[in-house]
Amino acid sequence: MNWLYLGLAIICEVIATSALKASVGFTKLLPTVILAIGYSAAFYFLSLTLRSIPVGVAYAVWSGVGVVLISVVAWLLYGQELDLPAMIGMGLIVAGVIVLNLFSKTVSH
């Protein structure tokens, strides 16, 4: 269940970060409300995650997966270009999260 909470935290954070750009410096009401709710929900679900997943592991997964997802969202919604070095870098982040989860003794399963 804690990994589900972590997944929800990541999804909420990606939604909030996407709304952050759309808020245009907090000048657009709806995106600003979405980002406030999204970040609040993200931190709530992250706090539930930390009941059994070590904070370093949870944050590594959250930030790593979040970087990749927000980059994909930015590409789809905002036309952000993803060149080869960016894709290689994101691949390395994903590889790091996989190694952490499969081989680290600090991860609680």
Mean pLDDT on 61-66: 90
- Tell me the residue range of the domain where 89 lies: 2-103
- What is the structure's pLDDT at 106? 72
Work out the pLDDT band at 107, boundaries 50, 70, 90: low
Range scoring the smallest mean pLDDT among 66-70, 72-76, 104-108: 104-108
Residue 109 lies in a domain: no
pLDDT at 61 over 80: yes
Compute and round to an integer the Cα radius of gyration of the chain.
Answer: 15
Q: What is the DSSP letter of 50?
A: T
Residue 108 lies in a domain: no
Using CA atoms, how far apart are residues 74 and 17, in angstroms rounded to an integer? 10
Number of folded domains in the chain?
Answer: 1
- What is the structure's pLDDT at 108? 54
